[in-house]
Amino acid sequence: MNYLFVLHDPPYGTERTYNGIRWARQMLEAGHQVRVFNFADAVISVTAGQKVPHGFYNLAKMTTALTDNGGEIGNCGACMDARGMGEDQLVDGAHRSSMAELADWTTWADQVINV
């Protein structure tokens, strides 16, 4: 099956984005096709170069592992602009996206999961 995960929360401070990425990675490992679309503060979760305290999860590393294994990650372009983010700040495998791509991904998906 094809799964689209739509994330909204910041990478740190709540665990919604963390758990969404964990869930998406598990679905990918189970043999499904997975795409993740980040809205609002979730766009920050794919910022390269994150430094977190020892023993704390690192969403940049987690999202890179997802894309390295065939998952796709799109970031809302308007949300990136609002946060002063350029595409050059994203981890490998993540890209600046759009509402048009989200619409395409929604029709591609058998299941949309809004986290």
Residues 6 or more apart whose CB falls under 8 angstroms from that of 16 comprise 7, 8, 9, 115
pLDDT digits (tens, 9 = 90+) for 49-89: 999 999 899 999 999 999 999 999 999 999 999 999 999 99
CA pair distance 47, 29, nearest whole angstrom: 23
- Between the CA of residue 89 and those of 29, 76, 96, what are the distances in Å? 27, 14, 10
For the chain, what is the domain count?
1
Check residue 62 and give its pLDDT: 94
Looking up tokens 């590393």 gives 61
The dihedral formed by the CA atoms of 94, 96, 100 and 101, expressed in degrees to the nearest 10: -10
Share of the chain above pLDDT 70, in %: 100
Structure tokens at 79: 């949300």
Domain coverage including residue 102: 2-114
Task: Please give the model's pTM, rounded to 2 decimal places.
Answer: 0.95
CA pair distance 31, 35, nearest whole angstrom: 13
Within 10 angstroms of residue 11's Cβ, the number of other Cβ atoms is 27
What CATH number did the domain enclosing 58 receive? 3.40.1260.10
pLDDT digits (tens, 9 = 90+) for 10-24: 999 999 999 999 999
CA pair distance 8, 11, nearest whole angstrom: 9
